[in-house]
Structure 1
Amino acid sequence: MNANRRTLLKAMGGSAAIAALAGCSDDDGVSGPTMWTDLADAEDEDMQAAIAAYEEETGLELTQEEPGGDLDQQIETAIPAGDGPHSWIWAHDWVGRFAVREEPEFLYDASDDIDVDLDAYTGAARDAVQFDGAVHGLPFASETVTLYYNEDMVDEPPETLDEMVDIMEDFHDPANGEYGLSYPATDPYFASGFLQAYGGDLYDEDALEVTVDSDECKQGLEALETLFDYIPEDPGYESQIIVFADELAPFAINGPWELGNLNEEVENVGVAELPTVDGNHPRTYSGIQMFYFSSMLADAEDDTLDAITGFAEWYTTNEETVLDNADNHGFIPVLEAAVTDADLSDEVEAFAQQVDHGVPMPTHPDMDSVWEPVEEALTRVFNEDQAGDEALDQAASEIRERL
């Protein structure tokens, strides 16, 4: 996943200050037990409340901190220096990449430390947190991007891309600051659904092959280029989300992390699965949000290990918390009990339907070499600096050179 995705999620007025909760101190010099988070404002508030409830219930202490920069880069720097967190929150796509690192190690195998049975989670979630038999975290939600629509501007969500284009045409007026769509469309994570709509994959994890230059992906890019025509000139996250929040566009394509923020900004927000393209459902990448167990736990005090693993168990198996996350943030439950018994909201059902159409992000370390060349290719196409087929051919060549 593009490492900038979560960093930019706080476009709606900036991040609320995090109240650091006092913790003990480990011999490794890290204030502990420490968890790094980079969350949207509404998510952050609920996480703080959950930590406070856990502390009161257990008597254990946990410090929640922002990393002070790009989470990916901060982890890469801090853990080798012995200053990293004991846990962090991110989607599952980093598991393989960090699990194969040996000098230094970045992840901790908590197989012998957790009490929860992994069968408590869905099969996809169980698989996401493991690598070569090691348990490197615990999962709490599934997510993907799908279609938001302003119910005061759109009566019914479009079922096909052609229907969506017809509606966007009615609203698109850039000269007056109005657009058909809010969509960070040059980010491969956001663009994945349309790029893969015809059955192609950016990366074939089974065959360990780069396939972004396949005929199917090129056909998908043609559909994506249709949407390029209806978004603001700056495809960056912040420039995109603000036009939907200010009710200057009828549609947005975004993830559940924005649901709480958008419900505060837009009076009537609807969520639907993405429209079909020539009868094909867009195959968006989906991610499993999880608590990672950092290698900093290997030498941590017992209280720190207990607090980190205990909170992850408590949070991910607490059905009330899981359902609150679904209601407040559109998180799709991965706790089997919640999936089986819950009466999910229409918004969460829409995200769940889109997850069913999508594919899990590859966890193989090779995927790290895919994101940047594809984003650069999409940016060139968006800026009309290169034709679509040529851009994907160039991206594929650059990726293969890196591998």
Structure 2
Amino acid sequence: MNEKRRTLLKTMGGSTALAALAGCISTDSGDGSDDGDDGDGSDGSDDGDDGDDGDDGSQGTATLWTDLSDGEDEAMSGYVDEFESEAGHTIDKEAPGGDLDQQLETAIPSGEGPDSWVWAHDWIGRFAVRDEPPFLYDASDDVDVSLDEYSGAAQEAVQYDGALHGLPFASETVALFYNEDMVDAPPETLEEMVSVMDEFHSPGNGEYGLSYPVADPYFVSGFIQAYGGNIFDEENLEVTLDSDACKQGMDALETLFDYVPADPGYESQIVAFADGAAPFAINGPWELANLSGEIDNLGVAPLPTVDGNHPRTYSGIQTFYFSAMLNDADQSTVDATTGLAEWYTTNEEIVETNAAEQGYIPVLSSVVEDGNLSAEVEAFARQVDHGVPIPTHPDMNSVWTPLTDALERVFNGDQESGPALDQAASEIRENL
């Protein structure tokens, strides 16, 4: 899922997955709402300075780990420099290399982990239940900004079992890219999309109807869940991938398998669309800058409906995580860590620039309500509204591999879709 997506994006040099989640804390943070009320850069840095004044006035040093595409990383480095200049704190931003998940699994138990890292929200539940050693820090008493500054889904995504483990700055999901030189208007229904794909699909000539990593559960979640089924029912903690509704959605998804390149991997798929060899791609906002440089007239739209149903894609909430390393850190380090997160996530200029340049979908309420977003980002935002956040419960971690294997079997013609989902659901239950 996200690990694969980020790794492949870095390899390719690309630009940068609403139901309530478990365990909310109160969004009323007293006078903290006044601190972040305007959402501009000066308010954000004042929050960090206020934290220092509450301690001994010292400036802190904190470590931030990131695993970003080149464009995202360059932007983040510039913002970190700006924060250091304004707040006086020092932020050591590092890219640890390799898989970020595994790096954290090694570094935190050894006491060498970062004070914060940037990733989608879906690790919060799994890390929150890790007691020996703990992986996350509860910053409920350290953060001054009011959670009311953010959208409801974003507020809930960064909390688990009454604790605040991070601050959100963007959402992401997959939507429909289309080449306006090949398609006059985006299809509103799956039937319309199939009709257009039929016109262009000619594998013998290196031309395809669609670019879509169809063996990745994150990317295909919308169609599987289009008829109201849930891959994982977080409310009841049940595996429901083998429900009739999910099987019906899988049948719809399988319709698209005939129109993609033979290799379902991310790289092979996105290259076909970028090279103008396919009219459509289903991908995320992290590819906006990349594809805009390749496709002269690029359009983005929500996914087409399936029998009148909007595909319910998984969405991720990009988050500054608060690491368990802060449990034993100096207060100045805690202030530097939370101060950066507060400043970055409530700074309207940063949020608007990231939306325009990186394709980030804002979760800062003031920017969302302003409505001054590009047509492309607005299309992704509408798809987020149709989708659901990736469940944060630790059991969700057992879902990805069996479902990936099932998708690969169906795509390769080794198994029918219904039995494939039955087998995946059985494997998931055995692993819980």
Which TM-score tier does this pair reach, normalised by the shorter chain?
over 0.9
Match of 1:343 among 354, 372, 376: 372
Q: Which residue of 2 aligns with 1:56?
A: 85
Match of 1:137 among 147, 166, 174: 166
Q: Where do 1:4-403 residues align within 5 Å? A: 4-13=4-13, 33-403=62-432
CA deviation after TM superposition for structure 1 residue 307, in Å? 1.9
CA deviation after TM superposition for structure 1 residue 15, in Å? 9.1
Q: Which string of whole-angstrom CA distances, capped at 9 and with x for unpartnered residues, describes residues 291-342 of structure 1?
A: 0011111222333322211111010000011111111222221111111223
CA deviation after TM superposition for structure 1 residue 67, in Å? 2.5
TM-score (ref. length: structure 1) = 0.93
Q: Does 1 or 2 have the higher relative contact order (CA < 8 Å, sep 6+)? A: 2
Matched to 2:178, the amino acid is Y
- The CA distance in 1 between the partners of 2:241 and 2:11, in whole Å, is 30
What secondary structure is seen at the aligned counterpart in 1 of 2:306?
A: coil
Q: Which string of whole-angstrom CA distances, capped at 9 and with x for unpartnered residues, describes residues 140-174 of structure 1?
A: 01111100111111110111111111111222222
CA deviation after TM superposition for structure 1 residue 195, in Å? 0.4
Q: Which string of whole-angstrom CA distances, capped at 9 and with x for unpartnered residues, describes residues 216-249 of structure 1?
A: 1111111111111111111111111111122221
- The CA distance in 2 between the partners of 1:182 and 1:146, in whole Å, is 12
Q: Which string of whole-angstrom CA distances, capped at 9 and with x for unpartnered residues, describes residues 348-382 of structure 1?
A: 11111111111111111110111110011001101
Gaps of 5+ in 1: 17-31
Retained in 2: the 8 A contact 1:323–1:342?
no
What is the alpha-carbon root mean square deviation over aligned residues? 1.7
- The CA distance in 2 between the partners of 1:321 and 1:199, in whole Å, is 36
Gaps of 5+ in 2: 17-60
Change (3 A) 1:352 1:345: same
- The CA distance in 2 between the partners of 1:287 and 1:14, in whole Å, is 18
- The CA distance in 2 between the partners of 1:38 and 1:182, in whole Å, is 25
What secondary structure is seen at the aligned counterpart in 2 of 1:199?
A: coil
Retained in 2: the 8 A contact 1:33–1:308?
yes
Retained in 1: the 8 A contact 2:224–2:247?
yes
What secondary structure is seen at the aligned counterpart in 2 of 1:33?
A: strand
Q: Which string of whole-angstrom CA distances, capped at 9 and with x for unpartnered residues, describes residues 10-45 of structure 1?
A: 2434799xxxxxxxxxxxxxxx62211112222222
What secondary structure is seen at the aligned counterpart in 2 of 1:158?
A: coil
What secondary structure is seen at the aligned counterpart in 2 of 1:253?
A: strand
CA deviation after TM superposition for structure 1 residue 175, in Å? 2.0
Retained in 1: the 8 A contact 2:208–2:259?
yes
Matched to 2:149, the amino acid is A
Percent identical: 71
Matched to 1:12, the amino acid is M
What secondary structure is seen at the aligned counterpart in 1 of 2:182?
A: coil
Matched to 2:5, the amino acid is R
CA deviation after TM superposition for structure 1 residue 126, in Å? 1.0
- The CA distance in 2 between the partners of 1:76 and 1:47, in whole Å, is 24
Retained in 1: the 8 A contact 2:14–2:289?
no
Is 1:3 the counterpart of 2:32 in the alignment?
Answer: no
